[in-house]
Amino acid sequence: MIRRISSCQIINQIAFCQSQSLNWVPYFPSNVVAVDLSLNYIIEVNDTSFLHLELLQNLDLGMQKTQFLRIKKNAFRNLSNLVFLHLGSNRNLVLDPDAFVGLFNLKQLNLIYNGLSASILEDEYLRPLVSLEVIYLNSNVIERVQPNLFFRNLTNLKEVVLKLNKIKTICENDLLGFRGKFFSLFDLSSNHLEHMNAIDFDWKTCGNPFKNVSLEVLDLSLNSLDADRTRLLFRALGGTIIHHVILSQNIMGRSFGYNNIKDPNNETFEGLKNSSVRSLKLSRNFIFSLEPFVFAPFKELKEITLAVNKINQIKKDAFSGLQNLKSLNLSNNLIGEVFSYTFEGLHSVTEIDLSNNHIGVIQHNSFTGLFSLQTLNLRGNAIKNLHEFAPIPKLENVLLGDNKIQSSYGLSTFAQNSIFVDLSENRLRDLGVFYDLMNFPNVQFILLRHNKLSGCASNSVVPKENNLLYLDLEDNMLQLIWEKNICLDVFDNLNKLNRLRLNQNFLQFLPEAIFKGLTTLNSLDLSLNLLTHLPDNVFPESLKVLNLSGNILGSPNPDLFSSLSLIDLGRNPYVCDCNLKEYLLWISQTNVTFFSHVEDMVCYFPNELLGVRLLDLNTESCVEEDQRLILKLRLSAFISSVTIIILIMMSTITFIHFRGLCFVIYKKIITILQGSPSVAFRDSYKYDAYLCFSSKKNLFRFCLEARDFIPGEDHITNIRNAIWCSKKTVCIVTKEFLKDGWCIEAFNMAQTRLFTELQDVLIMVVVGGLPRFKLMKCDPIRTFIKSRHCLHWPEDFQDIDWFYERLAQNILKEEKSKKQTDVVLQNIRVQS
């Protein structure tokens, strides 16, 4: 429910009144639980300002635009349920001693930048706040910390923030009101502690400021503490329980090229040996060298942060005594080499951060003894070789990005069991490194971006059993690999991959079925490539998120995006013609979420539509154009079909009428191409053929009955001799042939020779248009025509040359007869 009271807006029992130029507190409904009155001109809050607001829990009166804000007596007496009060950023806050009466449930009080002095702690302003847990006193003018003894009754007080004040010293007798308390945070950062930094400061008289006080976090950052002052302070704090010590942005350390200030040594932290310190933050100091045994007092220490110093040297035994250390951060320093002794003794450490140093030299067997190390961050160094590392058996996350690595040789020696491998921003050129990494049995995340991978000499295959979930190949040159049709199986076995990044790879095309093995792929990034076309069914059905922005897709096919829930198709040069109609219809109706606003998609071509939004295009004209195109296609198809049919018919008719002439022309062409026919080979046969009943002159040496039979010989003998002395027997079958017994006997003998020699020695020529059933009445002829082809005398004279050609070929050719397995045996009758 939304209501407006005066200049305020109330939404769900929360009143928003900020920046409304209010001079007084307006009236609010009694059910309001939160009120924001910041950035107004209110100068006074009194006992009538908040009537009937027993449910109010949060009140913000910060940053009033007046010279001062006066909080009068009993101003909050009606706000018994208030838990958060913000009075900060009122440059001159004037508090009545009884201003906070009635706030017995208040837990957080914000008094930052109010111009408050030490009296806020020394006087009884805060006595009514018996439930107070957190008080913010940042950026005031407090010079000393001497809390009133009533603070002992504030048993819930856990956090005191005093940063950016003017505290000069803090001694044992100052914090009497805090004795016996446990603070989760005590922040004294940015106070300078001027008196305590003086050379003649009497530390013995000052004593332990946190005597009988326990601290979860003590923040002493930005207090101008050097190594000597830090040693004296921690000696004074001896025995005080402090779990987390923050000493960032001090002047500790001699820096690079200086010797006038000391680096911390084995005495600097000696005073904290009984303080149960668990984490030590020394970031943004000037430490140049880590001296031997510098952290030896911290027997329970689990975390050290030394980031952003000037560390160049790590002496032997620098980390001695840290048998419980889990995390070591040495990032952003000046470390140039790692020795085999550098991390000796860190048997329990699980994480080492050496990123953004200058490490280029690694001694053989460095990182030895790190039996528990799980994460090693070496990003942003100058490492070239990986074969000097000692085996790290439990290493799961290896970050080697932004180095000068050219080969993965040696990586398997120390990172074989890694889950996360980062080799991005190196000098790798061969995609074979990916195949090498896939032989790591546990690898799930691989980063190879910004490497310019442009070759693939690997003959390996990605193991079918793998656990890869994330693969980043951004900013490489896969186009140069795939255009050579090599390593097209790179994704075939990645059946668990969830996210794949291929952006900025100069891809001009996607190989067919390149993603066929990615059956669980959820997110694919193909942005900033040169893709002009996407193959059908190229994306897996599991794909939900696709980035195709910054390509050259003029008319994307919306059928490819059916499985998606999120897509980015921005910054593509759309060609706004009728080919884009389906895409325009899809973007106006789809439920897919567009990462780039559809309103920002504009035409690039043609010039008359340059800059026009896709949503403003009208596709109605495309329907009429499609219909006209269909009519044109139908007419073209009809004309083409009729033309082809007419050509076929004309060709057929022409061939039928002039086939004899065509054959003569064909023979002449063959003669020209092959030359004159060679003289037939003279074999052992006396005749080329035995021809029955023909007296015409022939081109062949025919055996003719009237000419070549021996007078006086038995007629059967002459026939048999003629058949066996001729290469072929040509039987001219006519009606008279079927009636002549001698012809049938000659045919029988020729067929007997055929069965004996298993050669085609019998040629049958049918003359006179004899029907087949008449031929089948003769047993020898029936047996022949069932298994062999016979020639027919042409009825049309123009076929006579073709017939003679076939007859001549059959006479001269030598061809073995196929063995017949189904020979019909003639019945033989024996007469007695």
**pLDDT tens-digit series, residues 540-595:** 999 999 999 999 999 999 999 999 999 999 999 999 988 888 899 899 899 999 99
Residues 566 and 676 in one domain: no
E strand or H helix at 471: strand 470-472
**pLDDT tens-digit series, residues 525-545:** 999 999 999 999 999 999 999
Q: Which of 1-5, 465-469, 521-525 has the lowest mean pLDDT?
A: 1-5
Is a pLDDT exceeding 60 seen at residue 703?
Answer: no
Residue 623: what pLDDT?
A: 64
CA 473, 475, 479, 481 torsion-angle sign: negative
Cα separation, 602 vs 613, whole angstroms: 4
E strand or H helix at 669: helix 659-674
Residue 145 domain flag: no
Residues 604 and 739 in one domain: no
Residue ending a domain, among 377, 403, 427, is: 427
E strand or H helix at 3: strand 2-5
Confidence of residue 702 (pLDDT cuts 50, 70, 90): very low
Residues 689 and 796 in one domain: yes
Is a pLDDT exceeding 80 seen at residue 828?
Answer: no
CB atoms within 10 A of CB 728: 25
Residues 607 and 672 in one domain: no
Residue 815: what pLDDT?
A: 57
Residues 680 and 750 in one domain: yes
Give residues with Cβ within 8 angstroms of 697, minimum separation 6.
Answer: none
Cα separation, 388 vs 64, whole angstroms: 63
Of 34 and 460, more confident: 34
Residues 554 and 421 in one domain: no
CB atoms within 10 A of CB 645: 10
Question: Which of 38, 48, 31 shows the shortest CA–CA distance to 16?
Answer: 38
| Size (the chain), residues | 832
Residue 827: what pLDDT?
A: 34
- Summarize the chain as % helix, strand, coil (round to 5): 25, 15, 60
Confidence of residue 711 (pLDDT cuts 50, 70, 90): low
Residue 814: what pLDDT?
A: 64
Residue 69: what pLDDT?
A: 97
Mean pLDDT (whole number) for 382-387 = 96
Both structure tokens of 720 = 């048999």
Residue 331: what pLDDT?
A: 98
Is a pLDDT exceeding 60 seen at residue 817?
Answer: no
Confidence of residue 697 (pLDDT cuts 50, 70, 90): very low
Question: Which of 94, 154, 82 shows the shortest CA–CA distance to 120?
Answer: 94
Residue 532 domain flag: no
Give residues with Cβ within 8 angstroms of 609, minimum separation 6.
Answer: 576, 603, 617
- Structural domain count, the chain: 3
Residue 767: what pLDDT?
A: 84
Give residues with Cβ within 8 angstroms of 632, minimum separation 6.
Answer: none
Residue 709: what pLDDT?
A: 60
Both structure tokens of 256 = 């690079």
Residue 755 domain flag: yes
Integer angstrom CA distances of residue 28 from 4, 48, 83, 439: 10, 12, 18, 68
Residue 3: what pLDDT?
A: 53
Residue 460: what pLDDT?
A: 83
Is a pLDDT exceeding 50 seen at residue 820?
Answer: no
Confidence of residue 700 (pLDDT cuts 50, 70, 90): very low
Mean pLDDT of the chain: 89
Residue 689 domain flag: yes
Is a pLDDT exceeding 90 seen at residue 407?
Answer: yes
Cα separation, 213 vs 175, whole angstroms: 9
Residue 821: what pLDDT?
A: 43
Mean pLDDT (whole number) for 792-808 = 79
254: left (phi over 0), alpha (psi -120 to 50) or beta: alpha
Residue 287: what pLDDT?
A: 97
Give residues with Cβ within 8 angstroms of 457, minimum separation 6.
Answer: 430, 432
**pLDDT tens-digit series, residues 613-650:** 888 887 776 766 666 777 788 888 889 999 999 999 88
Residue 387 domain flag: yes
Residues 611 and 675 in one domain: no
Mean pLDDT (whole number) for 681-694 = 63
CB atoms within 10 A of CB 609: 18
Give residues with Cβ within 8 angstroms of 87, minimum separation 6.
Answer: 61, 62, 69, 71, 93, 109, 110, 111, 114
Is a pLDDT exceeding 50 seen at residue 145?
Answer: yes
Residue 415 domain flag: yes
Is a pLDDT exceeding 70 seen at residue 692?
Answer: no
**pLDDT tens-digit series, residues 767-785:** 877 787 777 878 788 878 8
Question: Which of 479, 478, 427, 416 shows the shortest CA–CA distance to 450?
Answer: 427
Of 690 and 271, more confident: 271
Residues 697 and 794 in one domain: yes
- Start-to-end CA distance of the chain, whole Å, equals 131
Mean pLDDT (whole number) for 122-131 = 97
Cα separation, 499 vs 526, whole angstroms: 12
Residue 436: what pLDDT?
A: 95
Both structure tokens of 546 = 């696709």
E strand or H helix at 701: none
Residue 690: what pLDDT?
A: 72
Question: Which of 232, 255, 132, 135 shows the shortest CA–CA distance to 187?
Answer: 135
Residue ending a domain, among 398, 427, 456, is: 427
**CATH, residue 605:** 3.80.10.10
State yes or no: cis peptide before 606, omega within 30 of 0. Answer: yes
Residue 218 domain flag: no
Residue 763: what pLDDT?
A: 85
Residue 184: what pLDDT?
A: 98
Question: Which of 347, 373, 372, 343 shows the shortest CA–CA distance to 359?
Answer: 343
* 3 state DSSP class of 383: coil
Is a pLDDT exceeding 90 seen at residue 667?
Answer: no
β-sheet bridge partners, residue 524: 500, 546
Cα separation, 502 vs 525, whole angstroms: 6
Of 621 and 385, more confident: 385
CA atoms within 13 A on the CB side of 703: 23
Residues 711 and 594 in one domain: no
Quote the domain boundaries for residue 808: 667-812
Residues 725 and 799 in one domain: yes
Residues 675 and 609 in one domain: no
Please give the DSSP secondary-structure letter assigned to residue 540: -
Residues 594 and 686 in one domain: no
**pLDDT tens-digit series, residues 76-85:** 999 999 999 9
How many whole angstroms from its chain centre is CA 685?
83
**pLDDT tens-digit series, residues 193-245:** 989 988 889 999 999 999 999 999 999 999 999 999 999 999 999 999 999 99
Integer angstrom CA distances of residue 598 from 77, 530, 560, 578, 612: 56, 21, 18, 19, 12
Both structure tokens of 379 = 């990003």
Residue 768: what pLDDT?
A: 76
Confidence of residue 808 (pLDDT cuts 50, 70, 90): confident
71: left (phi over 0), alpha (psi -120 to 50) or beta: beta
Confidence of residue 486 (pLDDT cuts 50, 70, 90): very high
Residue 149 domain flag: no
